[in-house]
Amino acid sequence: MPYENRSQLPETVSEHLPEHAQDIYMKAFNNAWEQYKDPSERRGNASREETAHKVAWSAVKNEYEKDPKGNWVRKD
């Protein structure tokens, strides 16, 4: 289901990503949730939610990466 605010994000997102990255995740997830509502638009047997999470993580990884200590930081 789409997220209305950051407090609804999964702990794996809210506890590890900076706020800006959480915003990216939430926006990408919500967009993908709508875009991939038709199962024929998804790869294999992936659920709508699984697909939306994959898209959201991909969007975050476009702008953020883990530093040597495992913290998510904005790419240079």
Domain boundaries defined on the chain:
17-74
Architecture of domain 17-74: Orthogonal Bundle (1.10)
**pLDDT digit string, tens, across residues 22-70:** 999 999 999 999 999 999 889 898 999 999 999 999 999 999 999 999 9
Distance CA 25, CA 34 (A): 14
Q: Has this prediction a pTM greater than 0.75?
A: yes
3-state secondary structure the chain: CCCCCHHHCCHHHHCCCCHHHHHHHHHHHHHHHHHCCCHHHCCCCCCHHHHHHHHHHHHHHHHEEECCCCCEEECC
